[in-house]
Structure 1
Amino acid sequence: MCCSGFLKMIMFVFNGVIFLAGAAILGVGVWVKVNSDSFLGILNGVDGAPSGLSELVYVSYVLIGVGVVLVIIGFLGCCGAVKESRCMLLTFFSIVLVIFLIEVAGAVVLLVFQDVAQELLGELEDEVRKGIEVNYGKDEGLTSLWNATMEQFKCCGYKNYTDFDGSPFNEEHGVYPPTCCNASITTGVCNKNGASRSMIDGCFDKLLQLIEDNAVVVAAVALGIAALEIAAMVVSMVLYNNIGNKA
């Protein structure tokens, strides 16, 4: 009885951690989805964009899906231990085993995702910069999308302020978007002098940094959860056998 009670407590603690970690991954997935939509929207609208680019959008959905599943199995494991249900424990073990294998594969993909993303986004540079030169200030939808992206990421153009040279906005007003100038350096409108002195990073570099930071964090969290899941599977099977012996 003492051993069984200890195992139930261990099972409850393990699955409580898995439940909370699943909620954390779900939160990261939602955050990545919200913060990546604007820039990816621009890239997906570029003529000649590589077909693989659309797959970047799915990363956030994968994280959200994994988070939801972890929350469910964490709840299932806790209930199976408390209620001493062999059916629930066996179901829990099976689901966790499948999720464990998926997470290991996903962690490996995330670790190499940065290089893949950089290659895909690098192929788009000429097309995106041409789109800015031709349509920024003329196409209301593209202009609004770029403004929202630059404001959100605190960046300027695809590579830097020179992307806006010759654009309808630059030709008409003789200035650059406000985000291309550092407020501590330039006051008033953002002219060429202020933009060149500020040298705000382009959105390409900012997006790569976002991908890099989140890939490392998510991969580390996933591997940590995988270790907990191995322990939880072992405990669940021991508890499963003990319940069977009691019956």
Structure 2
Amino acid sequence: MGFTGAPAGQTISIPNENERFISEARCGTYILFQNYQYMRRKIMLRKNKRLIFKYFLNLINGAFLVLGLLLMGFGTWLLLDGNNFFTALDENNHLTVYIFRILIGTGSAILLLCLLGYLGIHNEIRWLLILYAVLLMWAVGVQVVLSTLIFAKKEEVHQAWHNKIDSIISEYGSEDFPQDIPKWMILNALQKTFQCCGRKNYTDWTKNKNKENSEQVPCSCTNSTLRKWFCDEPLNATYLQGCENKINTWYHANALTLIGINFGLLVSEVLQFSLTISFFRHIKNRIYAEK
């Protein structure tokens, strides 16, 4: 079809209605396909983000679960085993039982916390996630308070330990205190393991009045393998250094490790709290988007 107003030898083609409809349909299909691809990518990204959240939340939650089991196991073992150094330092066994029950209670609380966290994360229950986050912050607060109290009471604990060791040394080997034999056995194991004698040094044993003569020292203060309370050994065969220095050396050597573990737990709890809140917001936004 030509247009009469065109220059000589040229014609202008005018598309018919069918061609225009096909062109518009193709454009519409292309736009719909692009929108479909965009929505599909958006859904996949949202799904992948949710899976990543769940993976890291469950990973840290699993670490808390292991910690809770360790605390429960350690506290139960110490509570049931009366022949340990911690029990020997407590005359009436009230303080140690209290501490061991705190360990068991803390471990149980962590297990309950992990269960709530798993249910909230796996089933995407928002109110459980909020409860989980609140309990995590509570755990952080308790941990900070307990750490502060431990450092504040450190000197007091050291003094109590010193007094108890001196008391055990003075009563060691007495026939009047057969009930204290487990404490003496623990002190022997301590001196044998650290190769030390007394609290300050071997002269602390001069305070003991249960020896046959003043020159005797516990067999655990020497290389002797005799199974009796006191031995007659020369000075050059006796451990001269006190156990206080040995234990303090061990304590300072492990203090950084303990601080590192405590700091790592705090960082993990704060990270878990942040991830939980982010996961909660992600679920909330997804629910609103689906409405």
Q: TM-score of the superposition, structure 1-length normalised?
A: 0.72
* Alignment match of 1:201 (pick from 242, 249, 252): 242
Contact 1:181/1:200 (CA < 8 Å) preserved in 2? no
Residue in structure 2 matched with residue 148 of structure 1 by the alignment: 186
Q: What do the CA deviations read for 1:123-157 (whole angstroms, capped 9, x no partner)?
A: 5676555444xx72442122442123322563544
Q: Does 1:37 align with 2:106?
A: no
Residue in structure 1 matched with residue 58 of structure 2 by the alignment: 12
* Alignment match of 1:139 (pick from 177, 188, 191): 177
Question: C-alpha displacement at 1:102, in angstroms?
Answer: 0.7
Q: Does 1:88 align with 2:128?
A: yes
Identify unmatched segments of 5+ residues in structure 1: 46-52
Q: How many residues align?
A: 233
Select the structure of larger CA radius of gyration: 2
Question: C-alpha displacement at 1:176, in angstroms?
Answer: 3.4
SS, match of residue 217 in structure 2: coil
* Alignment match of 2:212 (pick from 146, 168, 171): 171
Higher relative contact order (CA 8 A, sep 6+): 1
SS, match of residue 170 in structure 1: coil
Question: C-alpha displacement at 1:27, in angstroms?
Answer: 4.9
Question: C-alpha displacement at 1:234, in angstroms?
Answer: 1.4
Distance 2:202 2:70 in 1: 37
Distance 2:256 2:214 in 1: 42
Contact 1:18/1:74 (CA < 8 Å) preserved in 2? yes
Distance 2:155 2:265 in 1: 25
Contact 1:15/1:77 (CA < 8 Å) preserved in 2? yes
Identify unmatched segments of 5+ residues in structure 2: 1-46
Residue in structure 1 matched with residue 23 of structure 2 by the alignment: none
Residue in structure 2 matched with residue 48 of structure 1 by the alignment: none
Q: CA RMSD in A?
A: 3.8
* Alignment match of 2:264 (pick from 212, 224, 227): 224
Contact 1:137/1:143 (CA < 8 Å) preserved in 2? no
Q: Which has the higher helix share?
A: 1
Distance 1:36 1:197 in 2: 23
Question: C-alpha displacement at 1:101, in angstroms?
Answer: 0.6
